[in-house]
A = this chain, B = another copy of it.
Amino acid sequence: MTATAPPTPLGPGAAVLAFDVGGTDTKSAMVDAAGRVLGLRRTPTARDAGDAAGAVAASFAELARTLRNAHPGVDVVAAGVSVPGLVDEVRGLGLFASNLGWRDAPIRDLAERTLGLPVAFGHDVRAAGDAEHRLGAARGYDDAVVLAIGTGIASSMLIGGQPYSAGGYAGEFGHSLADPQGERCPCGAIGCLETVASAGAIARRYRAASGREVSGARAVLDAAGAGDPVARDIWDSAIEALAEGIARLVATLAPEAVVIGGGLSQAGPALFDPLGERVDALLSFHRRPVLLRAELGDDAGLLGTALAARDLATARAAAAGTAAP
């Protein structure tokens, strides 16, 4: 559970705690001053229908105690908390998270009280994107989009070298219109990209079209490779919808790089090769972005959360007139 930490790209900085809250699991870890990730583990996200935010914040206390007991020599000075859904990073609010059930919840304040630490609060996908921007595949690009394609589709944007969140509402690439004649998305809109092209949608659409059970998007890809025409259609239509969405991003935002992570990116060339070809075919004079596979894998969200905590520690130290710890 708290085995020797693998090498990470974090490097030296403040020692912090990081909590990456997902709809199913929460990842927690300690990052020491050398940038080692200590005690990283995945536990079921705490739930309480009556007090969703309170339950999540309370769970941080137990997770923090475990980390501190295992690493008594590490003096953490800040924590990072990332959550899914709509997030107001400035006011520290979880505005809405369909899987978790809070609305306008003051999660940053709750976590600061629970942990007794200053807390950097943000959005899980933007945290992952920020890690890819600063440490992963998107580093070196000032204008880049990082897509996370798994159960759903989310994105984070770096614009002019700065993360762009628009008060928490930016980056809902998965809830942009892909098919005006499509199905209704759980979000309430029609034909959202994630109803067509997320890993979850690919598996679900295959089940509906074939009547056969399938373990996930990977199995649909395998079936397509084995000559199943239903699987081939669904895979190809997902690629086409993603390509159209990326081409539209290119026309308006003109990112230099589009980085793709999440479960679907594990398909590798079976995703990236046809996607790159289709994006290319849909563009003319536009600036063609490089299409890159995310580098930091599943832990990008946790690493980005730790980065945000370190940034907060640095800012606090600077404001207090001391050197950053």
Contact = CB atoms under 8 A, between A and B. Distances in A.
B252 A155 contact: yes
Interface in A155-173: 155, 157, 159-160, 162, 164, 166-167, 169-173
Interface string A248-266: 1101111110000000000
A190 B282 contact: yes
A254 B160 contact: no
A4 interface: no
A166 to B, nearest CB: 4
Interface in A136-182: 143, 155, 157, 159-160, 162, 164, 166-167, 169-173, 175-177, 180
Contact of A286 (B143, B169, B240, B285): B169
A99 interface: no
Most buried by B among A143, A185, A244, A254: A254
A188 B282 CA distance: 9
Contacts of A255: 166
A194 to B, nearest CB: 11
A171 B244 CA distance: 17
Interface in A283-325: 283-287
Contact of A167 (B162, B189, B287): B287
A155 B252 CA distance: 8
Interface in A178-205: 180, 185, 187-190
Contact of A170 (B172, B173, B253): B253
B254 A167 contact: yes
A234 to B, nearest CB: 17
A247 interface: yes
B180 A244 contact: yes
Given A166-B256, A170-B252, A187-B285, 20 more contacts: A159-B159, A166-B253, A166-B254, A171-B252, A172-B254, A172-B286, A173-B251, A175-B251, A175-B284, A175-B285, A176-B247, A176-B248, A177-B247, A177-B248, A180-B240, A187-B284, A188-B284, A188-B285, A189-B286, A190-B282
